[in-house]
Every structure is written in C-alpha cells, then in structure tokens.
C-alpha cells in the first residue's frame, strides 16, 4: 500500500553493493559467522529486488522479491544443483512497528533518516534510509518510507547489519527478475531433510 508521499518519491533503478556484518548471534552459534555471507549485491528496479550473495561452503544464493507475483523466491547452489524455493511474500513479512527518529547522517552522498522497527518480542532494528527513493526491500522493512542503505535485519535468531558501500544508478534488464525455469524446485522442508 503506497501513500501519496511515496508516489512523489523517485523509483530507484540500479545496483547497490552492501557490506554484511553480524551484530548478534544466538547462544551456541560460535563459528557460524565464518559460514555466512560478507557481501551482498542488490539489483533494483521499481518494486522488484534481486539480492545475490556468496555463502562460504554453500555457493551462491539469490533472492527475488517480486511483489507483482506476491511471492519471494530463494535460489541456492548446493550439491552441484541449482535449487529454487518459493514462499508467499506475506509469510515473510514479520510484524514490526516503526518508531521514526529525528537523527540524520550522510552515506555515499545521501542524507539518511533514522527509524527503529520493534516487534512484539521487543527486538529492535535500526534502519537508516534515504527518502529520495521508494523502499523496495520487502520483508520486515516494508514499513520504512524510503530505500534502506544502512540497516539491521533478523534471520533465524541472527541480527545482520547491511551497509551500502557503492550505489550505481543504471538501467536494469528484465532478465534479473525472471524466475528460473530450469532449476530443481524443492520445498524448504525437504531441504532440511537432505541436510540433516
């Protein structure tokens, strides 16, 4: 759902390179950080986002947020096969309440505004975003009123921080947002059985 203000915002199209850091790991997760990605690349066009990251020991992961299909896709390379998972986007949207703040800072020539996101468990995420561009990030960040460029997210009890290191506005081809048809489609439950 877009507000009138979001229509006035420019739609970002291009590439964003992120540094990925791990702020908080769950108890007993020693050594896990070495197996997690250190960088991520976002390809963005309007409300579509493709995220690519290399995971040590597991190969490449690709995430596709395609709101027009109301789905979230994850593609991984594992055991010399490309596997594809599809989930309804609504299931990936955790319930967070936005708490706008007055603080601002500069990053890569953009003035960023700060917001906090808090869920019912008391988890708090710090988000720095540029109001110049529409938010295309999906998931728990969908409440934010601009494009996040320095922000925290939670996945499986791990709090990540992504900080933009390079932003390039450029045309992005349709092929980046096409769901691959020649991959093994597998349910996430079946993947857990394979890995256990």
pLDDT, tens digit (0-9, with 9 covering 90-100), for 159-176: 899 999 999 999 999 999
The class that CATH gives domain 4-195 is mainly beta
The residue ranking higher by pLDDT, 146 or 74, is 146
For residue 3, name the pLDDT band (cuts at 50, 70, 90): very low
Does position 92 have pLDDT exceeding 60, yes or no?
no
Mean pLDDT within 175-189 = 68
User: How many CB atoms sit inside 10 A of residue 137's CB?
Assistant: 22
The residue ranking higher by pLDDT, 183 or 157, is 157
% residues pLDDT > 90 (the chain): 34
Length of the chain counted residue by residue: 196
Residue 96, pLDDT score: 80
pTM: 0.82
Does position 192 have pLDDT exceeding 60, yes or no?
no
pLDDT digits (tens, 9 = 90+) for 21-67: 988 887 777 777 777 889 999 999 988 889 999 877 667 788 888 77
Residue with tokens 């990925």: 20
* Residue spans per domain, the chain: 4-195
- 135: burial class by Cβ within 10 Å (0-12, 13-18, 19+)? buried
- Here the tokens at position 22 are 């791990």
DSSP labels for 126-194? EEEEETTB-----GGGGG-SSEEEEEEEEETTEEEEEEEEEEEE----GGGGPPPSSSEE--HHHHHHH
Mean pLDDT within 105-115 = 97
Residue 138, pLDDT score: 61
**Which residue, among 96, 106, 100, 109, has the nearest Cα to 145 in the 3D structure?**
100
Mean pLDDT within 164-191 = 78
- 12: burial class by Cβ within 10 Å (0-12, 13-18, 19+)? buried
Q: Is the dihedral of CA 113, 127, 70, 176 positive or negative?
A: positive
Q: Are 35 and 190 in contact (CB under 8 A)?
A: no
Q: Determine which helix (DSSP H) or strand (DSSP E) holds 90, and give its type and residue range.
A: helix 89-92
């Amino acid at each position: 759902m877009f507000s009138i203000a979001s229509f006035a915002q420019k739609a970002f199209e291009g590439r964003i390179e992120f540094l990925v850091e791990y702020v908080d790991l769950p108890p007993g997760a020693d050594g896990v950080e070495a197996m997690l990605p250190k960088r991520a690349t976002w390809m963005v066009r309007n409300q579509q986002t493709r995220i690519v990251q290399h995971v040590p020991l597991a190969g490449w992961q690709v995430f596709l947020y395609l709101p027009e299909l109301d789905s979230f896709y994850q593609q991984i390379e594992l055991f010399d096969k490309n596997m594809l998972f599809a989930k309804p986007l609504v299931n990936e949207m955790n319930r967070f309440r936005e708490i706008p703040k007055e603080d601002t800072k500069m990053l890569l020539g953009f003035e960023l505004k700060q917001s906090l996101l808090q869920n019912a468990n008391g988890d708090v995420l710090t988000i720095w975003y540029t109001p110049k561009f529409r938010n295309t990030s999906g998931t728990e960040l969908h409440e934010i009123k601009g494009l996040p460029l320095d922000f925290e997210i939670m996945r499986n009890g791990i709090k990540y921080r992504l900080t933009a290191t390079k932003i390039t506005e450029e045309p992005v081809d349709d092929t980046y947002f096409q769901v691959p048809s020649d991959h093994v489609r597998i349910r996430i439950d079946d993947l857990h059985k394979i890995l256990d």
